[in-house]
Amino acid sequence: MKVLAMDKTAEEGLKLIREAGIEVDSKSGLSEDELIKIIPAYDALIVRSETKVTPKIIEAGKNLKIVARAGVGVDNVDLPTATKNGVIVVNSPEGNTVAAAEHTWAMLLSMARSIPQAHGRLKGGVWDKKSFKGVEVLNKTLGVVGLGKIGRRVAAYALGMGMRVIGSDPFVTADYAKGLGVELKSLDEVIKESDFITFHIPKSKETAGLINAAAIAKMKKGVRLVNVARGGIINEKDLYDALKSGQVKAAALDVFEKEPCGSSPLFELDNIVVTPHLGASTVEAQVNVAIDVAEQIIEVLKGGAARSAVNIPSMKPELITPVRPYLGIAEKLGSLAAQIVKGAVKKVEVEYAGEIAGNNVSPLTTIVLKGLLTPMLDVKVNFVNAPFAAKERGIEIVESKSEEARDFASLITVKVVTEQETRLIGGTVFAGVGDRLVMIDGFRVDAVPEGYILVLQNIDKPGMIGKVGTFLGQHDINIAAMDVGRVKVGEKAVMVLNVDNPIPDRVLQEFTRLEGIFGATLVKI
């Protein structure tokens, strides 16, 4: 077996691979064509950020079993092609946690004490003490937006510095945050109460431009902001205006909307500290990520499972084969539950009834968690890390089995308990038909769990189906299928509709204003 290491991967990781009896070649600066020529000889490929692992390279790697990104982001690896060709892609999601958290604090303290500005003035021959009066962090309030691995470590550092720490994270419970020493609050409360705010969230459709003029206006006058997460979370034009006006006293940025960023109006200001995306740039972090991916390569090449696979769930065949027909419905139930439930998840109960209960169902519980957590988290969730990710967030997992058939040969039910509500959904697999959603909150239904699904909560009375059909027609939404579930005539009921198009939020809100309808949720499976 042979491993090709690109981009000057740390020697400590390569040494581990060699000690495992696997041959390693180190190269750098190869073009796509050059890499295509040699990649057929290798079983594994290690890259950092320089090498782009394109579809052509993956397809040329006839013996390639694993691509390892020595770092967090895998944007330089073509995941769909890797998946199609059965190549596992792994990363090192924890290797740079300390580096990013420490850089956050280096930026925060540098900003609080104007260290870069004073350094530059003194190097220029000017001894100027009056211009650089700073502030202490003791007894100040730090707002941490995002309580993942890095956010939690930043919070711990802040507590050690004598700060009050408040945090915002929709997927963390108050009890879990309390255990970290953090007061869990809404994003709006964090923005309003903090003296310093630091961001540790991914950039997504929901978080792009999250901190804009409107959000900044809610902050304390003189607030200080730090972003060592992803560029684009803070609107740079609005930040510039706020820094000029004094609404934001100072800012520290390691990431930018466009990178590399060689120039910006922000660079003209004296009350900002900037670095060129150095969050993971420490000797230790580079060694840690190299060792992490090296261990995974060794495990995979010796027939084991990768703990940080980002595309292919790696699971032993003897566990998967007996329950393989139910993998799809299990993941769909988890995904559906994540999209209909409100509040931070505290507990997940998965029950298996009928024939399926005679198997080892742990792979199914894991994939339920994968489906549940994927829409919630900023990391790729797979077979290996789903249970860990749930435990890390304080989510209690309960698995139970019953041989009682309950009207179906096999039935999987998923109960999700949050701080606000409890939701229950059930699904099965019909021979020759496929996956079916058969229960929502105790109501029997029969729906295909695919594509766009509209879940309505309504009163069971004449005219409701017509009202729903007319309303959707008026908004040019085509119904592919519909099913109605009820327990008693004239009481609460549910409608499950497969629709051909996404439904805008404003239309969903209008739905709930129709007489007899008190809940409307769109799910994408």
Catalytic site residues? 230, 259, 277
Using DSSP, state whether 496 is helix, strand or coil: strand
Nearest to residue 173, comparing CAs of 418, 369, 424, 422?
418
Residue type, 496: V
Report the C-alpha dihedral over residues 246, 248, 249, 252, rounded to 10 degrees.
-140
Range 503-509 contact pairs with CB under 8 angstroms and sequence separation of 24 or more: 503/452, 503/454, 503/475, 503/477, 507/475, 507/477
Q: What is the DSSP letter of 465?
A: H
Phi, psi at 252, each rounded to 5°: -135, 120
- Contact between 485 and 491 (Cβ < 8 Å): no
Alpha-carbon distance of 51 to 73, in angstroms, equals: 13
- Contact between 47 and 53 (Cβ < 8 Å): yes
Residue type, 378: D
Using DSSP, state whether 256 is helix, strand or coil: coil
Q: How far is CA 216 from the centre of its chain?
A: 25
Query: Can you say whether the dihedral through the CA atoms of 33, 37, 40, 45 is positive or negative?
Result: negative
* H-assigned helices in 255-301: 283-301
Q: Which two tokens stand for residue 389?
A: 């990710």
Residue type, 509: Q
The angle at the Cα of 479, spanning 476 to 484, to the nearest 5 degrees, equals 135
Tell me the CA distances in angstroms from 378 to 101, 267, 365, 492, one per residue in order.
Answer: 17, 30, 21, 36
3-state SS of 171-212 is CCCHHHHHHCCCEECCHHHHHHHCCEEEECCCCCCCCCCCEC
Alpha-carbon distance of 300 to 505, in angstroms, equals: 44
